[in-house]
Structures are given as structure tokens and as C-alpha cells.
């Protein structure tokens, strides 16, 4: 039980540090958000519509990377909504 509490605190510290870093740089949050949306549009067009493989530095973009990307998109969207709610 003590391990779960320590792990939860560690995860919260990591998320708080990430949020503070993103909020500390003036235009970092919009750049990350719209860059993520642009990458999503690129994936849909290039991989879905043209049916070509996406390669980044010689590595093929696969479904595992897409899952992590989707989690990142949800996270950055939640940060944007959280920041919008503060204003």
C-alpha cells in the first residue's frame, strides 16, 4: 500500500513538472497543440489517404507510436482546456 502512495506522488510530481514547464514558456503550449494537430492531419492524409508509410529518421511510424501520439494529443488538449478555464 505504501508503494502505491509513493508511486502516485511520483507520477503527480512528473505531471506537475511537465505542466509547469509548458506554462513557463510563453508560446510553447499553442505551438505544441497546433503542431500536434498538424501532425494528426499529416498522418491522416499521408498514411490513410495516400496509403504510404511514414518514416521519421529511417524508422517507420507504426501503430504503437500512434497510440502514444493519441495519448499525447489528449494530454495537451486537456492542458489547453485547463488553461482556457483559468482565463
Distance between CA 39 and CA 37 in Å, rounded? 5
pLDDT of residue 68: 80
- CB proximity list for 25: less than 8 A, separation 6 or greater: none
Percentage of the chain lying above the pLDDT 90 cut: 0
Per-residue confidence (pLDDT) for residue 87, from 0 to 100: 61
pLDDT band for position 12 (50/70/90)?
A: confident
Provide the pLDDT for residue 45.
Answer: 84
Q: Would you say residue 3 has pLDDT above 70?
A: yes
pLDDT (tens digit, 9 = 90+) per residue, 46-68?
Answer: 777 777 777 777 777 676 677 78
Ranges of each domain in the chain: 26-86
N-to-C CA span, the chain: 38
CA distance 7 to 16: 14
Amino acid at each position: 500500500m505504501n508503494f502505491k502512495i509513493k508511486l502516485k506522488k511520483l507520477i503527480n510530481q512528473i505531471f506537475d513538472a511537465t505542466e509547469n514547464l509548458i506554462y513557463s514558456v510563453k508560446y510553447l503550449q499553442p505551438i505544441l497543440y497546433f503542431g500536434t494537430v498538424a501532425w494528426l492531419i499529416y498522418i491522416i492524409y499521408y498514411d490513410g489517404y495516400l496509403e504510404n508509410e511514414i518514416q521519421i529518421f529511417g524508422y517507420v511510424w507504426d501503430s504503437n507510436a500512434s497510440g502514444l501520439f493519441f495519448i499525447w494529443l489528449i494530454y495537451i488538449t486537456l492542458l489547453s482546456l485547463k488553461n482556457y478555464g483559468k482565463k
